Structures are given as C-alpha cells and as structure tokens.
Amino acid sequence: MTRWDRSEADGRIFSDGWREAGGGVLPIVSPGDGSTVGRAGIADDGDVERAGRRAVAAQAEWGRASYRTRADVLHRAAEAMREIRADVEDVLIRESGSLPGKARHEVDKAIDELVEAAGLVTRSQGDILPVEDPSTLGIARRIPVGVVGVIAPWNAPLMLAIRSVAPAIALGNAVIVKPDVKTAFSGGAAIAEAFARAGLPDGVLHVLPGGPETGEAVVRSPHTNVISFTGSSAAGRRVGEVAGGLLKRVVLELGGNNAFIVMADADLDHAVASGLGGSFRHQGQICMATGRHLVHESIADEYVERMRAATERMRLGDPLSPETTLGPLITVGQAERVQGIVDAAVADGARIVRGGTHEGVFYQPTILDGVTSDNAAFRQEIFGPVAPITRFSTEEEALALANASDYGLSAAIHSRDVARALGFASRLRAGMVAVNGQTIYDAAHIPMGGIGASGNGGRHGGHWNLDEFTYWQWVTVPTISG
C-alpha cells in the first residue's frame, strides 16, 4: 500500500500544485490528545482570485474532455483513495476526533462517491424535443455549469466535501473547495492527493482552506457559478443571501433536529440500538443525528432505562485508545455550547437521567427525560452526545411533535406495522425517512438532502447531481439544407 506523505501539504494550499498560502498558517490541533496534527495554509482573497481565474481556463479544456477520459480519472482517484486510506483514516481520527470505525466508514463512503460519480458521465445528457419545423432537430442538452465552489464542514470532512467535488468534476466542471481549517488535511489535502495521483489536469481542482472570510470570497468570486455548501443553518442563510444576490445557483445541505419516533408496538431491542446509534455516533456531531426521541408513553420508562444502561457501558476517551467507544467533541467551545443547551433544558423542566457534564472536549453521554416541545433541548440542534426524550400518547400527537421543527432533514419511525409506518412517514416533513432504522443513513446513489432550515431542496447523490452541476441548453439544428 502506497503511503501518503503530507509534508508537501503542510501549511500550503493546492492550486496548480502546492504553494504558499497568502493568509498565513494555523495549527491543526487534535481534539483527542491536544497534539498538533499539522498546519493549515489559509487562503486569502488573492489566492481565491488566482484560483478562480485558473479554474475558468482549465474548465474550458476539461469540459470538452471525452466521457471516457473523465470516468477514467474518477476511477483512478477511487483507486488512489484505496491506496492511501490508512493514512487518511489516521488523519481523520486525529483531526476530527473520529473513532476508527467512523473513519473507515467515511473513507468507504468517499470511494463510493468517486465510483458513483464516474457513472454519471454515461447517464443521459439530454432529450430530443419536437420542433414546429419538421426539418429541424431540437435538442435539450446538459452543459457543465463552469466552476463550482464547495464549502465543507469539519464533522465528516472527507465525505461531505467529496460528494460535491466528485460529481462536479465528473460532469466537466472545475472545483474550488474550501475545507474547514480544523480538518484541512482530511477535508481537502486528501482529495487533492487522490486526484493528483489520478492525473486530473492542473487547474481543475483547487483546495483553499480558510475561515468564513475565505468562504465568502469563494461565494463572491466572479469565477464561481454554483456554490455547494454544507454546514449550519445560520451560515447557510448567509451563503444563500450572498449567492442569491449574485444570481448564483446554491445547493444548501444544512442542520437537522431529527425525530426518532418509537410507537407502542415497536421492537424495543431494535429501537434502542437504533436510537443509541442515532444520538451518539461521532458524539452526535452529524447533521442526521437523532435530536428528538419521541416515545409512546406506554413503553417510555423501559426505553429510558435501556438507554441509560447502554450509556453506562460507553467509554469516553481518546479515539486512538482501543477502549474508547465515545470520542471528543471538536473543541471546548462546542462542549460548552452543548452544556448550555443541557442546562437550559433542565431549567425548562427536563430531568438528567445520565450524564450532563463535560471535562474539556469530553462530554458525557447524556439522556434527558421529560423534554417538552417548548424545551431548549427539543427546539435546538444540539450537535453533541445528548438524547432528549419526549413522551406522546397518540399517533397524531407524535406526528405533531415530529413536525414541530423548522428543520426537515431526516427522521425514523419504529413500528411492527410497516404499512402504518409508511403512512406515517408520508406525513413527515423530512427529506429522508427510515422505517425501523436510524436517522443516520445515506449512500452515494440516493437523493441526500432536506427541506426547511435543513436546506433549499437541492440533492446530492446519484443522477440528482446532474440537476446541481449542469445547466440546460436548447439547441436547434436544420437537418435539410436548401
């Protein structure tokens, strides 16, 4: 297996190869043990301007490359990711506090995205439509949008960047990706390495780490035509405001406060296991995490007790320790934010069944019972290892509680009556619903996305990527001369 030497990426940006960053450097600190993973090169406005001009020029050539050429590059990038996966997993663990299982899963998903994107090039690229003049051929065809700006978060940095980068490149676009500075290697440099090994032409991909200022420069750049943003709803509103004012297409995948509904007839063993995974995977730092456990009052006591017993067996610590089953939050600030929500929840009448405290970035797995619809823990996206439990008595009450949120990303419903569950699911305001499963579930070929405060209806995945990264062009061609 080929190793990935990160030294050339240390403190640099990727734009026609690795180069010095105009905005200086910042250390990347591991939340697990506080060590320095490396340095992120910070792109400034000049870097964004140069990358944009270069991306426009490179895209003009790449957009004319044959579908075979583009597919081959994507497949070689997938193979490159397989070659360096051990090093990518290691940096994912160290940068984001991922447990090893989550890191492996994320690399698997990244490879899936590359392979799925390669298949986009042979999907139908248009339609033949009737024209009033029968001697004229009318074609509606898909054209690359040009340059795509991708702004990706720190919680699943590799997967949430590459799910836009891969299809955009496959469809003939150039890409400027802005990873979070906390995960500049796993969310940016790893992608640059895979595509460099795959032989992607210079200028088609640029990796420019930075903070909000860098992100806004990418959005405002006269060279970017589409912005794909994944992050908080608050930041997404700002991106949408700026991009909309510039008449740019914007794809927003934002936060979630996802409902997990447990009916009276649910298989409790399965429901508890799914609820635990939904709230505590990656310490709850996932947009699809279970934010609200809505449990029928007849089984709520048993559900709470089973959840409590399971969290007692969790081991909080450094992700690199084999005994650890729950890792750190990304920063102390994030832990303090979670603490503030838990404290407000208790003030609003909730009861701490287990946890409710933290030491630095390590937040105890927490269960809150007696959470009502006006409670802070019900209303807010917590983004931490907290399971708020709300009791209901009727199906209509459960539906009202599930839909009592501005968010609309993911949901799950547990019931032995699958027909009933499907009917319930059709009334949920959510872009994705799992019956007898977790709120956290996605794949490279599905329409990933939400509604309301969770996004603007755009979708990542499968052939839906065609709608985000191409535009329609209507062409008429006379077929009879004279």
Mean predicted confidence (pLDDT) in 305-329: 97
CATH number, domain of 460, equals: 3.40.605.10
Which among 113, 216, 287, 468 is annotated as catalytic? 287
- Please count the other Cβ atoms lying within 10 Å of the Cβ belonging to residue 30: 22
- One domain for residues 279 and 425: yes
Helices (H) and strands (E) in the chain, counts: 15, 23
pLDDT above 60 for 45: yes
- DSSP label at residue 397: H
Measured distance CA(388)–CA(404) in Å, rounded: 15
Cβ pair 209, 451 in contact under 8 A: no
| Residues 234, 367 within the same domain | no
Tell me the mean pLDDT in the region 17-35. 97
**Same-domain check for residues 299 and 216:** no
- Of all residues in the chain, the percent with pLDDT exceeding 90 is 98
Question: Is residue 48 domain-shared with residue 14, that is, in the same domain?
Answer: yes
140 within 8 A of 127, measured Cβ to Cβ: yes
Do residues 11 and 41 make contact, with C-beta atoms less than 8 angstroms apart?
A: yes
Residues 226, 275 within the same domain: no
Domain identity same for 385 and 275: yes
- The residue among 259, 265, 260 whose CA lies nearest residue 298 is 265
User: Is residue 421 assigned to a domain?
Assistant: yes
The pLDDT of residue 480 is 78
The boundaries of the domain holding residue 55 are 6-254+455-475
Tell me what the mean pLDDT of segment 239-246 comes to: 96
Q: How far apart are CA 316 and CA 305, in angstroms?
A: 20
CA distance 349 to 361: 26
Same-domain check for residues 250 and 264: no
292 and 378 together in one domain = yes
Q: Clarify whether residues 174 and 29 are in a common domain.
A: yes
Do 243 and 274 share a structural domain? no
279 and 389 in a single domain? The answer is yes
**How would DSSP label each residue in 75-121?**
HHHHHHHHHTHHHHHHHHHHHH---HHHHHHHHHHHHHHHHHHHHHT
Domain assignment of residue 361, yes or no: yes
Same domain, 199 and 229: yes
Contact between 289 and 281 under an 8 Å Cβ cutoff? The reply is: yes
What is the pTM for the complete model shown? 0.96
pLDDT at residue 171 greater than cutoff 80 = yes
What does the pLDDT average to over 422-441? 97
Q: In CATH, what number is assigned to the domain containing residue 268?
A: 3.40.309.10
Length of the chain: 482
Name the catalytic one among 253, 323, 359, 397. 253
Verify whether residue 132 is a known catalytic residue. Answer: no
Our count of domains for the chain comes to 2
How far is 208 from 158, CA to CA, in rounded Å? 14
Which band of pLDDT confidence, cut at 50, 70 and 90, is reported for residue 2? confident
Torsion 34-92-171-458 (CA) sign: negative
Q: Does 287 participate in catalysis according to the annotation? A: yes
Give me the half-sphere count of Cα atoms (radius 13 Å) on the Cβ side of residue 372: 6
Is the residue at 146 inside a domain?
yes
pLDDT in tens, 399-409: 999 999 999 99
Alpha-carbon distance of 59 to 250, in angstroms, equals 19
Burial classification of residue 388, based on how many CB atoms lie within 10 Å of its CB (0-12 exposed, 13-18 middle, 19 or more buried): buried
